[in-house]
């Protein structure tokens, strides 16, 4: 903190015993202040004591705005809210899981006419038609966007989702259908959709085109990473060309549940040095110990390499999917960190603060 002082000093005149007023500037290192009120102080200069009336002004350094490592310039949030949603139309809706998969997942594309300016990694809200048991309109549900900002058609006029149809049996033996997921999976082309948002900044892509981007997904948690990967490998941008490493770990129960597999295969063929892909199919694969191959089990096979990457300041980890995946991944990292005498809990906090550890689980 910088401080400047000017003082009016009462100094003895050589021709009189009275005091004359002179304004002088005194070097701070030659001044000793006695503890007296701020406005009137005694000052010792060269062994002599003088009365001083001083005014101190301080210049407080301006706060330096934090510069994000993510592509957050001009990001729009909450342009459309529940009371005034955007009305889009379903352009495409197709099932993308096999017939024998444990559950259906659908890929759908909605028109936006460019009115929802989202970024890769953001989400939108959907308000399903109809009313709840109390006769009130259904509340919105949030879904991670499954397309790049340009959209599946490349014209910035659409937004895509991948949605798993929720159907389960409750404690009473009754079959329960998720309101919004079934509404979306049943949509026909031309149907209207009430959309809110976009929302979220947690999962925005890193700015650095040379970054290492590690993506951890289970099931429909693949959504934001499809957007990432389309921008990295399928699109051309004047201000962005990815030259780093994109490493995707995708966990699913069966091979018939692997969604967007053909797209990922094309990306791998197009950029073999920049894209790595590892599947974890829990009901069909096991590790050397005979354990089911969950996403954390697959990651454990690359534990040392992953830990080395995590110690670099241009490695970004993104996690999206079922909440249960987070604990398994923490367990792996804890054991790796302990080898280096590091607390994983503390190190993860540092990564989060540096925007290098990003989680969106449900």
Give binding residues for NADP(+) as ranges.
Answer: 144, 164, 220, 252-253, 282-283, 292, 321-322, 360
pLDDT, residue 13, reads 42
**Chunked in runs of 10, what are the mean pLDDT values of the chain (362 residues)?**
42 41 45 48 59 57 77 96 97 96 96 98 97 93 98 98 95 93 98 98 97 97 98 96 97 96 97 97 94 94 94 96 89 90 95 96 88
Question: Distance between CA atoms of 150 and 145, rounded to whole angstroms?
Answer: 12
Burial 200-237 (b: 16+ CB within 10 A, else e): bbbbbbbebeebbbbbbbbbbbbbbbbbbbbbbbeeee
Beta strands in 200-274 (DSSP E): 212-218, 245-252
Active site positions, annotated: 143-144, 320, 360, 362
Edge-to-edge strands, sheet with 245-252: 275-281, 245-252, 212-218, 315-321, 357-361
pLDDT, residue 7, reads 41
pLDDT, residue 362, reads 85
- Indicate the SS3 state at residue 56: strand
pLDDT, residue 48, reads 62
Catalogue the long-range contacts made by 136-140 (C-beta closer than 8 Å, 24 or more residues apart). 138/179, 138/180, 139/82, 140/82, 140/196
Token pair, residue 228, equals 């990432």
pLDDT, residue 245, reads 98
Question: Distance between CA atoms of 321 and 298, rounded to whole angstroms?
Answer: 16
pTM for this prediction: 0.81
Closest CA to 231 of 241, 221, 222, 244: 241
What is the per-residue DSSP string for 71-105?
S-TT----SBBTTB-EEEEEEEEEE-S-TTSSS-E
Give binding residues as ranges.
Answer: 144, 164, 220, 252-253, 282-283, 292, 321-322, 360
Which strand (E) or helix (H) includes residue 298?
helix 295-300
pLDDT, residue 67, reads 85
């Amino acid at each position: 903190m910088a401080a400047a002082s000017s003082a009016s000093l009462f100094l003895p005149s050589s021709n009189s015993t009275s005091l004359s007023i002179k304004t002088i500037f005194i070097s701070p290192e030659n001044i000793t202040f006695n503890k007296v009120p701020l406005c009137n102080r005694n000052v010792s200069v060269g062994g002599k004591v003088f009365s001083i009336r001083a005014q101190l002004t301080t210049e407080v350094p301006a706060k330096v705005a934090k510069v994000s490592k993510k592509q957050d310039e001009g990001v729009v949030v909450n342009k459309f809210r529940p009371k005034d949603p955007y009305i889009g139309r379903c352009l495409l809706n197709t099932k993308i899981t096999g017939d024998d998969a444990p559950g259906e997942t659908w890929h759908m594309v909605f028109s936006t006419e460019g009115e929802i300016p989202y970024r890769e990694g953001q989400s939108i809200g959907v308000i399903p038609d109809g009313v709840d048991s109390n006769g009130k309109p259904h509340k919105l549900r949030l879904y991670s966007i499954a397309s790049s900002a340009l959209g599946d058609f490349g014209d910035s006029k659409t937004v895509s989702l991948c949605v798993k149809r929720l159907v389960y049996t409750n404690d009473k033996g009754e079959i329960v259908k998720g309101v919004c997921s079934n509404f979306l999976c049943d949509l026909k082309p031309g149907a209207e959709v009430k959309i809110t948002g976009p929302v979220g900044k947690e999962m925005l892509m890193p700015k650095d085109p040379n970054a290492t981007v590690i993506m951890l997904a289970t099931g429909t948690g693949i959504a934001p990473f499809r957007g990432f990967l389309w921008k990295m490998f399928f699109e051309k941008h004047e201000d962005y060309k990815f030259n780093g490493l994109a490493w995707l770990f995708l966990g699913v129960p069966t091979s018939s549940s692997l969604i967007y597999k053909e797209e990922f295969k094309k990306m791998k063929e197009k950029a073999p040095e920049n894209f790595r892909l590892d599947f974890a199919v829990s009901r069909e694969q096991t590790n050397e110990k005979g354990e089911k191959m969950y996403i954390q089990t697959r990651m454990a096979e690359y534990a040392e390499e992953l830990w080395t990457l995590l110690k670099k300041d241009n490695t970004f980890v993104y996690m999206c999917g079922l909440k249960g995946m987070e604990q398994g991944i923490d367990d792996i990292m804890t054991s790796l960190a302990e080898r280096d005498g590091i607390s994983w809990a503390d190190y993860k906090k540092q990564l989060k603060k540096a925007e290098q550890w990003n989680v969106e689980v449900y």
